[in-house]
């Protein structure tokens, strides 16, 4: 899948979910299962996620 699921963590950071297409679930089903309950999320293209992890801890969602 060329998409990622993003949600804000309780600590104020950003978690990025890398879905596995071979599991047989749709990205919406994966989000419903793997995003913490009650947390809103966004599905974005992988190109929107920075590949430079130097400041990974400072990532935020806008």
Asked if residue 25 binds another protein (CB under 8 A), the reply is: yes
| Alpha-carbon gap, residue 8 to 11, rounded angstroms | 8
Asked if residue 39 binds another protein (CB under 8 A), the reply is: no
Return the residue of 28, 39, 42, 46 that touches another protein, per CB under 8 A. Answer: 46
| Nearer Cβ to another protein (53/62) | 53
- How far is CA 48 from each of CA 12, 16, 22, 33, rounded to the nearest angstrom? 19, 11, 22, 23
Asked if residue 30 binds another protein (CB under 8 A), the reply is: yes
Cβ-in-10-Å burial (0-12, 13-18, 19+) of 43 comes to middle
Chain residues in the site for another protein (CB under 8 A): 5, 9, 13, 15-20, 22-25, 30, 33-34, 46, 49, 51-53, 56-57
């Amino acid at each position: 899948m060329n998409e990622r699921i993003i949600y804000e963590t309780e600590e104020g950071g950003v978690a990025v979910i890398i879905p596995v297409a071979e599991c047989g679930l749709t990205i919406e089903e994966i989000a419903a299962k793997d995003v913490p309950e009650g947390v809103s999320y966004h599905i974005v293209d992988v190109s929107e996620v920075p590949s430079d992890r130097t400041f990974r801890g400072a990532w935020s969602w806008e």
